[in-house]
Amino acid sequence: MKSPNHILKEYWGFESFRPMQLDIIESLINGRDTVALLPTGGGKSICFQVPALALDGICIVISPLVALMNDQVTGLKEKGIKALSITGGLSYANLMTTLENAIHGNYKFLYLSPERLQQEVVQNAIKQMPVNIIAVDEAHCISQWGNDFRPAYKNITFLRDLKPLAPVIALTATATPKVLEDTVASLKMELPAIFKKSFVRNNLAYQVVEEDDKLYRIAQLLKNNTGNVIIYIRNRKGTFQLSEELNILGFKSQFFHGGLTPQEKKKRLKDWKAEITPIMVATNAFGMGIDHPNVRFVIHTQLTESLESYFQEAGRAGRDGNYAQAVLIHNTYDKTLVKKQYVDALATVADLKHIYKRLNNYFQISYGEGDFTKHNFEFSAFCKTYVLNTLVTYNGLQSLDRLGVLQLSKEFGRKSTLHFTAHNDVVLDYFAGNPLVSVIGKTILRIYGGVFDSPTQINLDFVQSKTGQSIPVIEKTLQQMEAQGLCKLTLQQTDASITFLLPREDDKTINIISREAKALNDKKKQQVAAVLSYVEDTETCKSVQLVTYFGETTASACSVCSVCTNQKTVTPKKELLLIRNAILNELEHANKSSRELTESLTFAESKVLHVLRLLSDQGSIAIDARNTYYKV
């Protein structure tokens, strides 16, 4: 057996491992169940890839991230290592060929999505494979208290029955102590060796900025940027708008969201990595599984629903170990919005009972029946039939899925998308030749203003209610426009399918899971509260706040975050006097806003703002209705 150091040098070209990697590798080689809790960019993949190469047999890797699977398989192949992946969209013939290769082809890695493990043909093939390690990536997904819980992960444990002698390694970067405990129990790990690396990132400056003019603040941050940037926005339309605004200001940017075609995503990612368009304005669809070292800024323009999400996304900055910034820009409205979206719209136990009973009535399921029956499901039609709040109902269905009452298909929540690619004048000329097309087309233009800019989700039921035309007529009209080259269209024929996992017993069904439902809601409230606490706490180091949330209690102040730099800036009296005189001199000539003053003076912005507050408190200056300062 080759030594781990020999393998690392041969395939990766490194002389030595990062701290803790070799300990994790040796634990697996010795056949022990292992937990690797490492921060984003901490080199988790090496921890199972090296021992898998050292041992005879094939390593099965379970991952929820198709992008990560594809990247890792490609990377392994480039190193001359035989690796396979089985994801969605693979034909039955190709699936069988891949499984045969995994059994007989001397391959070292087989990457699988958790959903693929549900297939009997995959399970039967695994029985025949000489499995040396089972690696579970993003392992927190198996815990219902984890931020990205995936019900399919619960079935991973049958791999232990199929291959009881293969050690399991659970890898994650975002597990709180409670999630870690639940993950170990859920994977049925036997006295695992737990390796937990400090979450502290000494090179990463966490900045929290309160700002109403977010575009201005972003432009100020990026003025002298020399690397890649990710700017996160929570909706698709916003990605396009901000990207356009940045391009107008002279920054090279592109937008990215889940509605783009695979070809568009691949091209934009390639251009971003090559720094042709070094700024990517994106939803959280961008970044998972993308390991790029030269990211100097990760900027959030809105609050996330949890610190788990924020920490993971922010952690994509500075993976090369050089100085980088994770900047969270927020305003008062953002705090209201995050509560409205993630707390106020939570489905209570009473809501779950109401939704569940309506679902059974909707599909005409008799009491005591319905288990394992599958039904096509039109979410908007269901809500309209029973006059249900769409956001509460959406969250309620997600909870029922999480808690094992029913199973939603992957398509749940998706909508048809439309993007007019022809010029506005060309489209309107086409409308002029056909009254029906004109009614449908102009209605869509009135409802969805950004449909010329980017692929836009459209609600056909809503278009139907506004036009009086049937959905088949609307779909046929849009398809005709696509055939004429006027637009790109993706029709979602059904929102989803629902599979009931339990027989109908109305309130009794929900009563059984009521405690867990309340706990999930409490968890979501706690997560949002933690986010609000993070942005509002101006006394505790931002890095300390984050790592403490993940159970690390010994971290010291980072000296580079927004809190530390403000506290560190205890302005000497002489400098304070210089700044005071400079401000008053500026205001002698004209009233100026705080922004104008910080831009015109050479002192650090935080110091200028500090002195402005002092002068205001002393009554030496005041602020007028236009938010500009003047001497009193």
Clarify whether residues 10 and 152 are in a common domain: yes
Residue 18 belongs to some domain of the structure = yes
Clarify whether residues 223 and 258 are in a common domain: yes
CA distance 226 to 218: 15
Task: For residue 623, give its domain range.
Answer: 569-631
Clarify whether residues 90 and 187 are in a common domain: yes
Clarify whether residues 484 and 510 are in a common domain: no
Clarify whether residues 82 and 190 are in a common domain: yes
| pLDDT bracket for residue 576 (50, 70, 90) | confident
C-beta neighbour count of 467 within 10 angstroms: 18
Residue 48 belongs to some domain of the structure = yes
Q: Which pLDDT score, from 0 to 100, does residue 288 have?
A: 63
Domain end residue (candidates: 169, 196, 223): 196
Q: Which pLDDT score, from 0 to 100, does residue 361 have?
A: 96
pLDDT in tens, 589-604: 889 988 888 888 877 7
Domain end residue (candidates: 167, 196, 225): 196
pLDDT in tens, 40-59: 777 889 999 999 999 999 99
pLDDT in tens, 409-453: 766 766 788 999 999 899 999 998 889 999 999 999 988 877 888
pLDDT (mean) for 240-258: 93
Mean pLDDT of the chain: 89
pLDDT (mean) for 163-173: 93
CATH (domain of 613): 1.10.10.10
| pLDDT bracket for residue 521 (50, 70, 90) | very high
3-state DSSP call for residue 81?
Answer: coil
Q: Which pLDDT score, from 0 to 100, does residue 328 have?
A: 97
Clarify whether residues 95 and 78 are in a common domain: yes
Clarify whether residues 429 and 551 are in a common domain: no
Residue 531 belongs to some domain of the structure = no
CATH (domain of 285): 3.40.50.300
- 3-class secondary structure for 318-366? CCCCCCEEEEEEECHHHHHHHHHHHHHCCCCHHHHHHHHHHHHHHCCCC
Percentage, residues of the chain above pLDDT 90: 54
Residue 104 pLDDT more than 80?
Answer: yes
- The count of domains in the chain is 5
Clarify whether residues 431 and 460 are in a common domain: yes
The pTM (predicted TM-score) of the whole model is 0.75
Helix (H), strand (E) at residue 61? strand 58-62
Q: What angle do CA 210, 211, 216 make, to 5 degrees?
A: 140
Q: Which pLDDT score, from 0 to 100, does residue 370 have?
A: 92
Clarify whether residues 99 and 147 are in a common domain: yes
| pLDDT bracket for residue 258 (50, 70, 90) | confident
Q: Which pLDDT score, from 0 to 100, does residue 66 have?
A: 72
pLDDT in tens, 467-485: 988 888 998 999 999 999 9
From residue 429, give the alpha-carbon distance in Å to each of 148, 447, 454: 47, 19, 21
Q: Which pLDDT score, from 0 to 100, does residue 31 have?
A: 95
Residue 544 belongs to some domain of the structure = yes
Q: What angle do CA 602, 206, 555 make, to 5 degrees?
A: 120
pLDDT (mean) for 245-253: 95
Clarify whether residues 399 and 521 are in a common domain: yes
Clarify whether residues 394 and 352 are in a common domain: yes
| pLDDT bracket for residue 68 (50, 70, 90) | confident
Residue 530 belongs to some domain of the structure = no
Q: Which tokens in the block code for residue 531?
A: 């986010």
Which among 117-121, 340-344, 362-366 has the top mean pLDDT?
A: 362-366
Q: Which pLDDT score, from 0 to 100, does residue 495 have?
A: 56
Residue 15 belongs to some domain of the structure = yes
pLDDT (mean) for 456-462: 82
Residue 220 pLDDT more than 70?
Answer: yes
Residue 493 pLDDT more than 70?
Answer: no
From residue 372, give the alpha-carbon distance in Å to each of 396, 401, 498, 576: 20, 13, 10, 72
pLDDT (mean) for 363-389: 91
Helix axis angle for 21-29 and 44-54, nearest 10°, is 40
Residue 335 belongs to some domain of the structure = no
Clarify whether residues 352 and 316 are in a common domain: no
Q: Which pLDDT score, from 0 to 100, does residue 490 have?
A: 83
Residue 532 belongs to some domain of the structure = no
Domain end residue (candidates: 196, 220, 246): 196
CATH (domain of 344): 1.10.10
From residue 177, give the alpha-carbon distance in Å to each of 44, 353, 524: 19, 32, 16
pLDDT in tens, 272-314: 999 999 999 999 888 765 778 899 999 999 999 999 999 989 9
